[in-house]
Chains A and B, each alone.
Chain A
Amino acid sequence: MIRPHDSIIVQSLGRFLIPVTQMFGLYVLFFGQYGPGGGFVGGVILGTSMIFSVLAFGHDASRSQLAKKVLHGDGVGMLIYAGVGGLCMIGGGEFLNFADFEIPGLETASRRSLGIVLTQLGVAVDVAVTAVSIVFSLSAEEIIEDSLNG
Chain B
Amino acid sequence: MNEHLPAVLFLLPLFAAIAMPVVCLKHREWSRPISLTVLSAMVVVSVLNLNSVIRYGEVRYAFSGWAPPLGIEWVADGLASVVLVALSVLGLLALVFAGPTAPRDLGGRVVHFYVLILLLIAALTGIAFAGDLFNLFVFLEVAAIASYGLVGVAGGKALFAAFRYLLLGTLGASLYLLGVSYFYAASGTLNMADMAEQLPHLLTSKAVVGGLLFMFIGLGIKMALVPFHVWLPDAYTHAPESISPILAALVTKVALLGWIRIIYWVLGAKVIIYDIPVLLLVGVLGTLAAVIGAVLALMARNIKTMFAYGGISHIGIILIGVTQGNKTGFAGGVFYLLNDAVMQGALFFLAGALVFQYGVRTVQDLGQIGKRVPWLTGALIVIALGMVGLPPTGGFFGKWYIILGALEAHNYVAVAAVLLSTLLTLAYFVKLFEAMFRQRPPRSDILQSELPLSCKLSLGVTTASIVMLGLFSDPIVQWILNQALPPTL
Contacts and interface: CB of A to CB of B under 8 A. Distances in A.
Interface string B1-40: 0001001100100010011111101000000000000000
B62 interface: yes
A74 B111 CA distance: 14
Given A94-B7, A97-B64, A99-B65, A82 B107 contact: no
B111 to A, nearest CB: 8
B11 A94 contact: no
B64 A96 contact: yes
Given A93-B65, A97-B65, A149-B107, A78 B7 contact: no
Interface string B34-76: 0000000000000000000000000001111100000000000
A94 B62 contact: yes
Contact of A148 (B4, B18, B107): B107
A78 B19 contact: yes
B21 A71 contact: yes
A10 to B, nearest CB: 32
B109 interface: yes
A82 B15 contact: yes
A25 interface: no
B15 A96 contact: no
B487 interface: no
Main secondary structure of the interface of B (DSSP, over half): helix
Contacts of B21: 71-72, 74-75
A93 B109 CA distance: 38
A142 interface: no
B7 A74 contact: no
B20 A75 contact: yes
A95 B64 contact: yes
Nearest to B28: A148
B156 interface: no
A89 interface: yes
Nearest to B112: A148
B64 A72 contact: no
Contacts of A69: 25
A38 B11 CA distance: 23
Contacts of B374: none
A140 interface: no
Interface in B96-114: 107-109, 111
A131 interface: no
Contacts of B109: 148
A20 interface: no
Given A95-B7, A149-B107, A72 B65 contact: no
A78 B19 CA distance: 6
Interface in A91-148: 93-99, 145, 148
Given A89-B4, A148-B107, A95 B63 contact: yes
A1 interface: no
Contacts, number: 54
B66 to A, nearest CB: 8
Interface residues of B, number: 21
Contacts of A75: 18-23
| Tier of interface size on chain A | 20 to 34
A2 interface: no
Nearest to B71: A94
A94 B63 contact: yes
A55 to B, nearest CB: 24
B65 A149 contact: no
B11 A95 contact: yes
A76 interface: yes
Contact of A94 (B15, B64, B111): B64
A11 to B, nearest CB: 32
Nearest to A144: B108
A63 B64 CA distance: 43
B30 to A, nearest CB: 13
A133 to B, nearest CB: 10
A85 B61 CA distance: 14
A82 B11 contact: yes
Contacts of A97: 64-65
A16 B63 CA distance: 42
Max chain A C-beta neighbours (<10 A), residue from B61, B64, B65: B64
Contacts of B111: 148
Given A94-B7, A148-B107, A148-B108, A74 B18 contact: yes
A72 B7 contact: no
Interface of A: 69, 71-76, 78-79, 82, 85, 89, 93-99, 145, 148-149
Kindly list the 7 A-B residue pairs having the minimum CB-CB distance in the complex, ordered from nearest.
A148-B108, A75-B22, A97-B65, A78-B18, A96-B64, A72-B21, A75-B19
25 contacts: A69-B25, A72-B22, A72-B25, A74-B18, A75-B21, A75-B22, A76-B22, A78-B18, A82-B19, A85-B11, A89-B4, A89-B7, A89-B8, A94-B4, A94-B7, A94-B61, A94-B62, A94-B63, A94-B64, A95-B7, A98-B64, A145-B108, A148-B108, A148-B109, A148-B111
Interface of B: 4, 7-8, 11, 15, 18-23, 25, 61-65, 107-109, 111
Given A82-B15, A94-B63, A97-B64, 8 more contacts: A69-B25, A71-B21, A75-B23, A89-B8, A95-B7, A96-B63, A98-B64, A148-B108
